[in-house]
Amino acid sequence: MTMHDADRPLDALDRAILGLALEEPPSGLRASILLATAYRPAPLFSFWELSLLGALGAVAVWFAALLILGGGALFVHTVTTIASVATSALSNGATLAWLAAGGATAVWLSLFTVSQPVAHASHRSGPRNVP
């Protein structure tokens, strides 16, 4: 008998091993796997929605602090300053051009990174890719 007799036809022990029944999983295992993966309830807010809500919340807190600490005059002055800076920035052609370039780049990058389907290549896998 050589070391690699595993290449030979199946013997009685091989057949006995291959004929063993699989262990019965505990009840509810499949349901708990599915609940943690495929059927996991979608989160109420996406990452971007949460970011936006966080930013809006921070601005609201800042305005509230202005009102409480400095009164109405400081609040009005700050809001007026912000509005005038925003208006002058958005009426500047160069600023608008940079904003457009940034937005276009973000859209272009998202085309390469979001929801890329798996290709059905016929080649064998390389080294294992265990997460």
Partner 1 sequence: MKAGPEDGELVAMTLQGNSEAFATLVERYDRAVYHLSYRMLHNVEDARDATQEAFFKAFRSLRTFRAGAKFSTWIFAIAYHACCDRLARRKHDASDELPDRADPARGPEQEAIALDEASRLRRAIDSLPEKYRAVVTLFHLQGRQYEEIATVLGLPMGTVKTHLFRAKEQLRRLLDGMEVTES
Residue 66 CB coordination number (10 Å):
17
Residue 114 binding partner 1, by CB under 8 A: no
Site size with partner 1, rule: CB under 8 A: 43
The whole-angstrom separation of Cα 22 and Cα 25 is: 9
For the CB of residue 29, give the shortest distance to partner 1 in the complex, in Å.
Answer: 6
The whole-angstrom separation of Cα 34 and Cα 52 is: 31
Residue 111 binding partner 1, by CB under 8 A: no
> 67: which 2 tokens?
């009102």
Name the one range near partner 1 by CB under 8 A: 26-34, 74-82, 90-98, 100-108.
Answer: 26-34
The whole-angstrom separation of Cα 80 and Cα 69 is: 18
Residue 30 binding partner 1, by CB under 8 A: yes
Residue 126 binding partner 1, by CB under 8 A: yes
Best CA proximity match to 86, nearest among 71, 96, 76:
96
For the CB of residue 5, give the shortest distance to partner 1 in the complex, in Å.
Answer: 6
Residue 4 binding partner 1, by CB under 8 A: yes
Classify residue 115 as left (phi > 0), alpha (psi -120 to 50) or beta.
Answer: left
Q: Which residues bind partner 1 (CB under 8 A)?
A: 3-7, 13-14, 16-26, 29-30, 32-34, 36-39, 115-126, 128-131
